[in-house]
Amino acid sequence: MDESSIDAQELIAELEEVYETEYEIGQDNIERLGLDMHNPVFFVSAGLIVLFVVASLLFPDAAKSGLEATKAWIQVTFDWVLLSAGNVFVLFCLALIVLPVGRIRIGGDDATPDFSLMSWFAMLFAAGIGIGLMFWGVAEPAAYYTDWHGTPLETAAYSDQARPAALGATMYHWGLHPWAIYAVVALALAFFAYNKGLPLTIRSTFYPLLGDRIWGPAGNVVDVLAVLATIFGLATSLGFGAQQAAAGLGFLFAFTDGLTTQLIIIACVTGLALISVLRGIDGGVKLLSNINMLLALVLLLFVIIAGSFSSFLTNYIETLKGYTQYILPLSNPIGRSDDIFYHDWTIFYWAWWISWSPFVGMFIARVSRGRTVRQFLTAVLVVPTLVTTIWMAAFGGGGLDQIDEGIGKLADGIGDEALVLFQMLENLPLSAITSMLGICLVLVFFVTSSDSGSLVIDSITSGGKTDAPVTQRVFWATMQGVIAAVLLSLGGSAALDALQAGAVSTGLPFTFVLLAMCVSLAMGLRHEHQLNQALQA
Amino acid sequence: MFKRIMVPVVLEHTERMQRTLQVAADLARQYEASIIFVAVTGKVPSAIASTPEEFAAELDLFAREQGDRAGVPTDALAVLSNDPGAELEKQLLEAVRSTEADLVVMGSHPPGVADALHLIGSHSAWLVRHTEVSVFAVR
């Protein structure tokens, strides 16, 4: 063996040593009654969940005003931090696509993807963003166009500029930025688990920065925070979603929806989620995601064709133009005077996306083994953004056309934002069928969110294991339903508002967590790149 | 009577499997059968291995050790699953078919509080209900 190859061997050994940890996955776990739970993450999370729910029921008004004040304070004081962080995540992802580290394959050079491209894309939408697109696809552009609650950059409502501004601003909120936030978390989790052999929990992404300290209190805090943000985010969304779906059903079948309808909806969603959980990823969430993608495609094509294809093309060009024209001014935190739009829409969304990033990111990580960093980021950033432009042009653009032409209820402005989608569909043919399709889509998206959320929480609370008894996932899915139902029946909207504000408020600490994650991920990828080069030499 | 005995293993907990391994070895010797050790694994790192390839190698090693100790021919099958927590039983059933085993020897916990509360199910009980081959539940 000559000297250079000895040097190379030494370099490889030295590099490999960096990620050698004494920690054994599952060593902190407690196995009782056949269950397998991380101590203290499982117990602290469960305890805090009960505490927060009880507190928000006992003192709904104090909890609401306290947590909403926190949220508002974050939105106003840290507006520039959140907005700038969002830009950093997009630029970071774009840089990784073009840099040589983009060649690194998640799971090692020989890994092959576990899911087909189609199922994979379907699952990207299933976890977090699908429901939002259903509800806000029509309502958000309409809101900006009519100045329902602020307009982007103070564009005058109903003006010529208001249309591209409305579509562009909505795309800004649902395009590259949210997906970049999810992509950072997903890539970091996938990389450190599949390439570096660390457990699939949030704390593992900080190994390059903190070393073995991640197994201690710092790691516990990050993991517990992720669990709380996920479960309260999901439970409150389910609660509000049940209200919206009940309102939609009431609108369609002309009955007054009440608490009973809402509770039935929660029970149905939770029941379906339990079946889906028990069937596993392939028989559950993958299957439902594929069904949902198909249904969404049918609805999308219907709206494009029934609404007139030529106006869709015009709207599509307007959406793209609006997005490219407004993405930079809207990303700029300096000298903003459009306070309502900036704080109540953009910064709210950013805090929301960031607080959901542990959940959505971890689910994406779970299903993304076998793809290269470049493929992964291109697919997670670009493809969903393009799909969303089509969706926005069809639904948002269609809604704006109805407003301009004075057709239907939308022309009178937005009343209940939950009904906007149905009011738009009402003016197209076959509205009874398409509205039912819309409600089904929303409900199935809730089922897939609940299922994937339980999967993620279970993985975090069992120390990164994926073979813990499925009962634990049943527990977390049930908890979401129970929390939503209890909050709705005993505390009403005030209690839901309170906990949702709490969940969104975790967006601030997570912003810093995510920024640190970018640094950590860059270090990890650089290390992997050096190792690959040393191995090839 | 039996030609091929399938023994599902959890590599993390082989120390709890001594009685099961003993029964399987005795039966294999008596009927001149071979043993195939089957383990279901996910793709994320575990205490045993950080990649599926490493996991398969560990299982092979385990099977060889057991074969040497018992003096019977052994084999190993590592089943990869996207969701081992939910798919374990189905994957084991599939493994019975694919390995053409005619007897399954597996460890089983005595029914207790957790079963009464339906917190966990018994994998061996499930397999008995779903497979046509013989199942020997060792306690």
DSSP B44-106: S--SS-SSHHHHHHHHHHHHHHHHHHHTS-EEEEEEE-S-HHHHHHHHHHHHHHHHT-SEEEE
Q: Which of B13, B83, B91, B124 to mutate to test the interface with A (most CBs of A within 10 A)?
A: B83
pLDDT digits (tens, 9 = 90+) for A16-64: 888 888 888 888 888 877 788 898 999 999 999 999 889 888 888 888 8
Residues of chain A with Cβ-Cβ distance to B119 below 8 Å are 33-35, 469, 471
Bridge-based pairing state of the strands A37-38 and A29-30: antiparallel
Of B12, B51, B87, the CB nearest to A280: B87
- Tokens representing A26? 């599952």
For A68, A330, A383, the CA distances from A506, given in Å and listed in that order, are 12, 23, 28
Nearest to A454 by CA among A478, A426, A431: A478
Among B44, B117, B119, pick the best mutation site for testing chain A contact (most A Cβ within 10 A): B44
Mean pLDDT of A121-139: 88
**Edge-to-edge strand ranges of the sheet holding B4-8:** B74-80, B34-41, B4-8, B103-107, B134-138
Nearest CA in chain A to B108: A34
Peptide bond into A40 cis (omega under 30): yes
Q: Do A198 and B113 touch (CB under 8 A)?
A: no
Q: Check whether B126 has a pLDDT greater than 60.
A: yes
The alpha-carbon gap from B115 to the nearest alpha carbon of chain A, in Å, equals 8
Q: Which residues of A touch B53 (CB under 8 A)?
A: 110
Beta bridge partners of B39: B78
What DSSP line would sit under A188-212, residue for residue?
HHHIIIIIT---SSGGGGGHHHHGG
More confident residue, A469 or A181: A181
- What is d(CA A458, CA A103) in angstroms, rounded to the nearest whole number? 31
- Work out the average pLDDT over A266-293: 95
Interatomic CA distance for residues B5 and B28, integer angstroms: 7
CB nearest to B86's CB, from A114, A278, A367 = A278
Residues of A in contact with B43 (CB under 8 A): 107, 114, 194, 369
Instruction: Spell out which residues of chain B touch residue A283, defining contact as CB-CB under 8 Å.
Output: 86
State pLDDT tens for residues B100-116.
999 999 998 877 777 77
Question: Contact, B9 vs B47, CB < 8 A?
Answer: no
- Cβ–Cβ gap B82/A278 under 8 Å: no
Whether B114 sits inside 8 A of A33 (CB atoms) is: yes
Q: What is the pLDDT of residue A278?
A: 93
Q: Which residue has the higher pLDDT, A342 or A248?
A: A342
Strand partners, B41: B80
Q: Which residues contact A105 (CB under 8 A, 6 or more apart)?
A: A111, A370, A371, A372, A373
- Paired tokens of B51: 């990649």
Instruction: Calculate how close chain A gets to B44, using CA atoms only, in Å.
Output: 6
Interface contact flag, B120 A33, Cβ < 8 Å: yes
**Spatial distance between the Cα atoms of A123 and A145, rounded to a whole number of angstroms:** 32
Residue A345 to residue A326: CA distance in whole angstroms:
15
Give, in order, the Cα–Cα distances in Å from B45 to each of A193, A195, A402, B103.
Answer: 6, 9, 53, 31
pLDDT of residue A1: 52
ipTM of the complex: 0.90
Which pLDDT score is estimated for A179?
Answer: 97
* A23, closest residue in chain B (CA to CA): B47
pLDDT at A2: 65
How far apart are alpha carbons A28 and A39 in whole angstroms?
Answer: 6
Q: What pLDDT band is residue A128 in, cutting at 50, 70 and 90? A: low
Instruction: Tell me A338's DSSP state.
Output: -
Tell me which residue of B82, B90, B85, B86 sits closest to B43, measured CA to CA.
Answer: B82
**B47 contacts in chain A (CB < 8 Å):** 24-27
Count of residues for chain A? 537
> Could you tell me which of B98, B120, B12 has the C-alpha nearest to residue A278?
B120
pLDDT reported for residue A250 = 87
| pLDDT higher than threshold 90 for residue A258 | no
> Measured between CA atoms, how close is A464 to chain B, in angstroms?
8
Residues A475 and B25: their CA atoms lie apart, in Å, by 39
Q: A394-407, pLDDT tens digit by residue?
A: 999 999 999 999 99
**What is the rounded average pLDDT of the residues A319-327?**
97
pLDDT of residue A105: 96
More confident position, A125 or A287 = A287
Nearest to B119 among A35, A114, A458 (CB): A35
Of A29-43, A81-95, B4-18, the poorest mean pLDDT is in A29-43
Antiparallel, parallel or unpaired: β B103-107 and A29-30: unpaired
Measured between its terminal Cα atoms, the distance across chain A in Å is 14
B9 contacts B17 by C-beta, under 8 angstroms: yes
Instruction: Give mean pLDDT, residues A146-171.
Output: 95
**A-B C-beta contacts closer than 8 Å:** 92
Burial grade of A522 (CB within 10 A; 0-12, 13-18, 19 or more): middle
Which tokens hold the place of A478?
Answer: 């049930």
Average pLDDT of chain A, as a whole number: 92
As a whole number of angstroms, the distance between CA A421 and CA A299 comes to 12
Residues of chain A neighbouring B92 (CB-CB closer than 8 A)? none
CB B27 within 8 A of CB B105: yes
CA distance B86 to chain A (A): 5
| Chain A residue set in contact with B, beta carbons under 8 Å | 24-27, 33-35, 107-108, 110, 114-115, 193-194, 196-200, 277-284, 366-367, 369, 458-459, 464-471, 473
Q: Determine the average pLDDT of the residues in A533-537.
A: 87
**pLDDT band for position A92 (cuts 50, 70, 90):** very high
> How many other CB atoms are found less than 10 A from the CB of residue A180?
23
- Quickly list DSSP for A177-188: HHHHHHHHHHHH
